[in-house]
Amino acid sequence: MRNIKSIFLGVVYIVIFSLSLDATGKKDINWMINAVNHQKVLTQQILKEYAFKGMGHSYKDSSGKLEEYLIEYDEEVKELQKVLLKDTDAKKQLKDVIKIWVGVKEVFNSTPDKEKVEVLQKKVDKILGKMSRLMRTILSKSDKDISKMVSISGYQSVIIERMASLYMLKTWGVDDPKFNFKMKESMTFFTNSLYKMLDSKETSKENEKSIRKIMKYFKFFKVMNQSKKKYIPTLIYHKTSKIHSELDIVTKRYINKGK
């Protein structure tokens, strides 16, 4: 679970580090929280869409989503370059991320190929790791519990999309020897984080209700993980979307409370 924890810590650190950011374009801490979390979410959504497209499936407005996510990623990276401190180390780390991303993006823009997935997964994980190190470069300590809750809630979207991408790749026929480990690690982390959110004094009655709804939705993933049957791509897509949408609502409530 160390990989997920290290990535998560990177998100926490950037959330609690607000005073040392260059507020170019008047970007505030809430924007930074969403931008960093969203970058991580996008990497997992892109993998999911790559597999979904590779299987020839579509779900509601899923057509063109892969291309849309690739554009979003590029745009947010550019914005992050503008708001980060003029710090040599931070700039170098972001450049390292971009260097990996450029190569990965070319593959994602081409026709989906199962043979390329293993390399793609490794490079995406490397991006997440480097982003975490970038965040630690600009970290600072804070006693603001609400900022930590925004981080936890936002990072849950990364985890649910990670699980969805793992299931989607497995359904596509990608043989990942670490699938069971990755899934167990993600499920444990997701479940523990939900309870942390429930136990937090920063969680409103509205958010508590939403979190319990997410727990109910999440039972699908638990049952599916125990099943030996083939996963249904459109069902994975549908269930993930429901959880992700509810998490977005929860995160926005935490952000609004912190204003």
Least confident span in 13-17, 117-121, 157-161: 13-17
* Residue 25: predicted pLDDT: 40
Cβ-proximal residues to 57 (8 Å cutoff; 6+ apart), any chain: 233, 234, 237
Q: Where are the beta strands (DSSP E) in the chain?
A: none
51: amino acid identity, one letter: A
* Residue 111: predicted pLDDT: 92
**Confidence label for 144 from pLDDT (cuts 50, 70 and 90):** low
Range of the domain at 217: 2-257
CA distance 8 to 95: 21
Domains in the chain, number: 1
DSSP helix/strand/coil, 231: coil
**For residue range 184-243, what is the model confidence (pLDDT) as tens digits?**
999 999 999 999 999 999 999 999 999 999 999 999 888 887 776 767 888 888 999 999
Q: Identify the residue with better confidence: 22 or 42.
A: 42
Least confident span in 15-24, 56-65, 220-229: 15-24
Q: Where are the beta strands (DSSP E) in 6-136?
A: none
Integer Rg of the chain from CA: 18
